[in-house]
Amino acid sequence: MSKGKVLMAMSGGLDSSVAAMMLHEEGYELVGFTLKTWEYPHEDMHTKETGCCSLDAINDAHHLAVSMGFPHYVLDIREEFNRHIVSNFIDQYLKGRTPNPCVLCNVHIKWAALLKRAEQLNCSYIATGHYARTREEDRRVVLYKGRDENKNQSYVLWGLSQDFLKRTIFPLGGFTKPEIREMAEDAGFREIAEKRESYEICFIPDDDYRGFLNRKVPGLKEKVEGGDFVDTSGKVMGKHKGYPFYTIGQRKGLNVAVGEPLYVKEIKADSNTIVLAKSNELFKDEFFISSFNPIKYPSVKDGMEVSVKIRYKDKGHPARVYNQKNLVRVELQNKVPAITPGQSAVLYEGKDVVGGGFIETSI
């Protein structure tokens, strides 16, 4: 007897494949879906097509589903993906910010698209291969870290609403990556087990976002190159290649020699100016979070103690948080370098995700 009908998001990679195997063995009725979010035009392809949108990945997902006896479909959402994710990516860089496309994609594209199809197919749940866990507590669904600290993906899921979390299963949350790889090998899927992980943005397979921006924004290089590098006092120190091509904390590629290392401290898009500073001048003890999505509690309490992660591989920093108008103000216990506008800040209480949003360094 089926334990329920689940719409299984399948990228063709190791994690979602093993997640599908696990749910299938547990007795769930699966319907496999692979999202086609991007197709690389020839001018954007400097390497072999890879990632979750490639023909090979789609075929691998389909083969796995067929071998286990459940249907598999490809859902073409390239138009929505380009409109919401790629356009936002470009827009954020043109504003002097550093975007976080995977977070936006999870909330506005993947989960929304999958749940819409789940409703149409009478699926009670959707499932993904993310390393994260959920539990119910005080009538809320709490998102918390996966068991594998090296692979924990709760950071990129902060934008999921309670409605999304209530309908989501994360089969891999209680396992480590080596255990998942071993499961694939034991099941006879050696090719899947040996797949390498991709850390690039899916629509930039060559990992060259600067080249991508130049191809997507005609005349960008000519418009922005030749702006000023300045120090914190405003003194001109040299010329740069264009403000969208730099990120906060960047050291390499500045070509400014002053006898000691300099880093990008601030990007001023309006004046095409980049502020450089010494390493000790990059540290801040306060920032703000916009578009905050509360998860563990309906809202944050003023003075609440949390650990805040400001990037995916960050270990977290002790802080207190306060409500300030429509933002969350974060007061760090210790100063932290290279806090980057546009990136995600996620608040944790132990392993639990309190909530998250986008970093703002000023209001």
Q: Which sequence positions are flagged as catalytic?
A: 105, 202
Burial label, 82 (beta-carbon count in 10 A; 0-12, 13-18, 19+): middle
Q: Are 243 and 273 in contact (CB under 8 A)?
A: yes
Question: Within 10 A of 135 (CB to CB), how many other CB atoms are there?
Answer: 10
Say if strands 72-76 and 273-277 run parallel, antiparallel, or are unpaired: unpaired
Centroid of chain to Cα 261: 30
- What b/e readout covers 68-77, taking b as 16+ CB neighbours within 10 angstroms? bebebeeeeb
Question: Within 10 A of 194 (CB to CB), how many other CB atoms are there?
Answer: 11
Question: Within 10 A of 301 (CB to CB), how many other CB atoms are there?
Answer: 11
Kindly write down the DSSP assignment for every residue of 205-267, as one continuous string: TTS-HHHHHHHHSTTHHHHHTTPEEE-TT--EEEE-S-GGG--TT--TT----SSS--EEEEE
Smallest CA-to-CA distance from 141 within 118, 160, 113, 116 is with 160
- Give the Cα separation of 156 and 346 in Å (integer): 9
